[in-house]
Amino acid sequence: MSITHFPGGASSSPLASPLTKVTMPTLSEMKRQGKPISALTAYDYGTSRLLDEAGIDLVLVGDSLAMVVLGHENTLAVTVDEMLHHTRAVRRGVRRALVVADMPFGSYHGTVAEGVANAVRFVKEAGAEAVKIEGPRIELVLALTEAEIPVVGHLGLTPQSVNRMGGYRVQARSVETVRQLKADALALAQAGAGALVLEGIPREVAAGITAELPIPTIGIGAGPDCDGQILVFHDLVNLTFTPPAKFVRRYGDAAALFRTAVEHYREDVEHRAFPSDEESYHLPDEVRKSLKPGRNTLTKVGVIQKA
Ligand code: KIV
């Protein structure tokens, strides 16, 4: 597969094809043409490479890393340095998809200048092509846009607000909160956000925002009417060790696959069935012959004593 490094590929249209690099303008063009955007999270080289080769349009290094990779209870504990470390790995695995890095909790909640400085690190030190921030942080989105850093907004159920929300609850279920969410979405788009993740909101609300907004929406637990969909990779393949949320569809059972493989390996080791002779290295014939008992004695691998 060859990838052109000219924005939008060799053709004048930025619409994603298997051969062209996905950029922020590609996502807008996909919305315009009604082509659904596929997105998944990834946190390492191998997974991100598989997603990219499978044609996923957007790879998000989500702060869900904190939970599914690092084993924290929620997303709040993950640090900028940890997110940078994993974003670098993902960047190395991806050639076509748009790589978006999640700004972790605390990295953009102080001054706008601190938020911009942290976002610059994701672009400069880790190769992110956009950053995602939760909530209607309009001043910050304006400043990031001014600083040439593409922004993906994130509204609705924003996991970094878990303590304020009192748990992970579906948002925007009253007239007032629906109106507020719509206003926030519009304000983010006007401030320069290039796409918007809508999480944990009623389908009807997501559909209304998607129809009204000039930028693409990417839903998770927001129904099928968004311009694209995103899931946490570990949810998709059953690697989360918890019952899935209502909106998760399991497309594979990696836990069963890995568990069976590891159990078979352990049994084979315990029964000396692994490795076999075919899976072992051997001395060349002439060396083996010259080491016959009486001439030389092989006492341990690599150490030959004269008899
Ligand atoms: O961190 C994450 O995985 C996310 C997606 C679920 C949107 O923010």
> Quick one: pLDDT at residue 7?
39
CA–CA separation, 237 and 253 (whole Å): 5
Q: Please tell me the residue having the least CA distance from ligand 1 atom 8.
A: 62
What distance in Å separates the CA atoms of residue 68 and residue 61, rounded to the nearest whole number? 12
Taking the centre of ligand 1 as the mean of its atom positions, its distance from the CA of residue 20, in whole angstroms, is 25
Q: Which is the closest atom of ligand 1 to the Cα of 132?
A: 8
For residue 292, the model assigns a pLDDT of 81
Q: Which residues make Cβ contacts (< 8 Å) with residue 17, sequence separation at least 6?
A: 9
Rounded Cα distance between 83 and 103, Å, is: 8
**Residue 285, C-beta contacts closer than 8 angstroms, at least 6 positions apart:** none
Question: In this structure, what DSSP letter does residue 104 have?
Answer: P
Residue 6 pLDDT: 38
Other beta carbons less than 10 A from residue 182's beta carbon: 17
| Domain residue extents for the chain | 24-236
Other CB atoms within 10 Å distance of the CB of residue 245: 15
Partners of 130 in beta bridges: 100
| Alpha carbon distance 183, 177 (integer Å) | 10
- Give the predicted TM-score (pTM) of the model: 0.90
Instruction: Give the residue from 94, 80, 78, 104 showing the smallest Cα distance to 42.
Output: 94
Atom of ligand 1 lying closest to residue 134 CA? 8
Active site residue 199: yes
CATH fold of 24-236, please?
Answer: TIM Barrel (3.20.20)
Cα distance between residue 102 and residue 147, in whole Å: 17
19 Cβ contact partners less than 8 Å away, ≥ 6 residues apart: 1, 2, 3, 4, 9, 96
Q: What pLDDT is recorded for position 17?
A: 60
Residue ranges in the chain whose pLDDT is less than 50: 1-12, 302-307
Binding-site residues, ligand 1, Cβ < 6 A: 41, 60, 62-64, 102, 197, 199, 220, 230, 232
d(CA 134, CA 197): 9
Structure confidence by residue, pLDDT tens digits, 242-265:
999 999 999 999 999 999 999 999
Catalytic residue among 53, 125, 139, 199: 199
Q: Look at residues 187, 225, 188, 186 and name the one whose alpha carbon lies nearest to residue 205.
A: 225
Distance CA 200, CA 223 (A): 9
Scanning the structure block, which residue is given the tokens 């559909």?
Answer: 207
Tell me the CA–centroid distance for residue 208 and ligand 1, in Å.
22
Task: Supply the pLDDT for residue 298.
Answer: 52
